[in-house]
Structure 1
């Protein structure tokens, strides 16, 4: 651990340890890396900003590191992002605010993404909001997983780790539907 701590500090990072007797130990490492963006992503981002196609995105993600990186990518692309940590918060936020799309993690505490999507689609109180595009964000990549999420009412599937080009393609579909 001493070597790891020194390496992390040399990279201007932080390391933390949470230990619970009888349950285990978690080691958290935070390193300040700059994301490298290729030119195709830069062109898309510039087009989105100039074209006024900034979306109001509800990001449902319980893992803080994933949420931070996705929020940062979306904000740099000019989108407005609201973060929910579980499916129950998604339902509450959707009832109170308007969004263009939901990026829904599948595995979350309190209410998972699949069940939250089913509640949205079956809602009698959300009006037209129940038809909002919902994209599954998940590390599940087994045969049949995509179909399972689509059958639950999700409109698309984006695998983790999220790549900006996949996210941009999905969001472009939302923009094209909004224009029509």
Structure 2
């Protein structure tokens, strides 16, 4: 599902200009070039940042003493701030392209709110505010929607509330109005006590979107981008100003999912649990992985992560080498970079899928591991025939979750 507010949209790899404005001549070229450059810089930053994130995770489990662990914790916090800046640049590029692409899947709202609360711990501590995000249920609350985008919108609004809270408190509440069609309107209320909101920020909450929005207009951008996301989801954002502070109300329609998952073949076999909860259902199994990645640091990182799980991995430095590996043996999973020197990941996937179709063999799961981070990039990966998508910088939790879900789905298909 794609939300578009005008016809100025991303076409191929070219940026067609900012939404809600009509640059001409040199002005248009200048904007186009600047946005393209910003996108390229953002892309190039993601691979080294991914290495820092991944190796910090591996170091945490390397038997460090308490002083070393403290250093690691400080580096992680600094790296988290860098990653937030990188994500912010991606958000701005996506907004400027005039698109919001939704990728729907099953997720747990309770878990999402826990993650949201955790991500704001440092910001809350630094500002001297308090943040209360109650978890709606001890049990999972599974729904169907775009978890990443919803969390993104909530984060933008929380950041805005935090900027206006003035050492006071922010309270998040969740209500749901159930409808008859297995859907519900989820209402997220974010209340804060503090200073009056600036007029230009409040104006961005109206039906008019600011023109010529720049990345420097940080709070206006956060509000406008959140509004764009929620609108694409079919929801609305409202703001009620109070005598001291204000209250945001985000209403989003979501579908309920069944809480229980079908038992996987590995669960039925009674495998012992893995140390990482995301891989519990795959514990005790040995998988053969093929990694196709041209970046040396990226190869070493993923190799170490996979081997720490206890799985085997072969590494190809380019697509042609990857195809040779694939033809020589059977793999349970392919981890694939998209930007490769000889043949891109989309073409590689097409060759794999065409070969499997001709031979009648089952599809080998393919997961993109890429610095291309826009939702449209994720959609393009799935359209090419891939089964999963992991954007850099790699979140270890997301990495484990994605490979676990893709492998479980593959095993379930094979067991039919």
Give the structure-1-normalised TM-score. 0.71
The CA distance in 1 between the partners of 2:411 and 2:359, in whole Å, is 19
Helix, strand or coil at the partner of 1:144? helix
Helix, strand or coil at the partner of 1:150? helix
Superposed counterparts of 1:18-37, under 5 Å:
35-36=59-60
Q: Is the 8 A contact 2:367 2:390 kept in 1?
A: yes
Q: Is the 8 A contact 2:278 2:401 kept in 1?
A: no
What stretches of structure 2 of length at least 5 have no aligned partner?
Answer: 1-51, 62-273
Q: Where does residue 28 of structure 1 map in the other structure? A: none
Q: Is the 8 A contact 1:137 1:160 kept in 2?
A: yes
The CA distance in 2 between the partners of 1:54 and 1:86, in whole Å, is 25
Q: Where does residue 146 of structure 1 map in the other structure? A: 378
Helix, strand or coil at the partner of 2:320? helix
Given the superposition, is the C-alpha separation of residues 106 and 78 from structure 1 closer, same or farther in structure 2, using an over 3 Å criterion? same
Q: Is the 8 A contact 1:61 1:104 kept in 2?
A: yes
Q: Where does residue 43 of structure 1 map in the other structure? A: 276
CA drift at 1:48? 6.9
Q: Is the 8 A contact 1:58 1:99 kept in 2?
A: yes
The CA distance in 2 between the partners of 1:46 and 1:141, in whole Å, is 25
Helix, strand or coil at the partner of 2:276? helix
Alignment counterpart, residue 66 of structure 1, candidates 287, 298, 301: 298
Q: Where does residue 77 of structure 1 map in the other structure? A: 309
The CA distance in 2 between the partners of 1:126 and 1:89, in whole Å, is 21
Given the superposition, is the C-alpha separation of residues 69 and 63 from structure 1 closer, same or farther in structure 2, using an over 3 Å criterion? same
The CA distance in 1 between the partners of 2:298 and 2:359, in whole Å, is 28
* Deviation string, structure 1 residues 38-75 (Cα, Å, up to 9, x no partner): xxx943488478x3222111011110001101110110
Which contiguous aligned blocks of 4+ residues in structure 1 show a shift greater than 6 angstroms? none
Q: Does 1:169 align with 2:379?
A: no
Alignment size in residue pairs? 145
What stretches of structure 1 of length at least 5 have no aligned partner?
Answer: 1-30
Q: Where does residue 365 of structure 2 map in the other structure? A: 133
Q: Does 1:104 align with 2:297?
A: no
Given the superposition, is the C-alpha separation of residues 143 and 120 from structure 1 closer, same or farther in structure 2, using an over 3 Å criterion? same
Q: Where does residue 178 of structure 1 map in the other structure? A: 411
* Deviation string, structure 1 residues 66-120 (Cα, Å, up to 9, x no partner): 1101110110011111001111111111111110010000011122211100111
Given the superposition, is the C-alpha separation of residues 101 and 113 from structure 1 closer, same or farther in structure 2, using an over 3 Å criterion? same
Helix, strand or coil at the partner of 1:72? helix
CA drift at 1:163? 2.1
* Deviation string, structure 1 residues 21-47 (Cα, Å, up to 9, x no partner): xxxxxxxxxx9975225xxx9434884
Given the superposition, is the C-alpha separation of residues 109 and 126 from structure 1 closer, same or farther in structure 2, using an over 3 Å criterion? farther
Q: Is the 8 A contact 1:48 1:77 kept in 2?
A: no
CA drift at 1:175? 3.5
Q: Where does residue 354 of structure 2 map in the other structure? A: 122
Q: Is the 8 A contact 1:135 1:158 kept in 2?
A: yes
The CA distance in 1 between the partners of 2:324 and 2:360, in whole Å, is 14
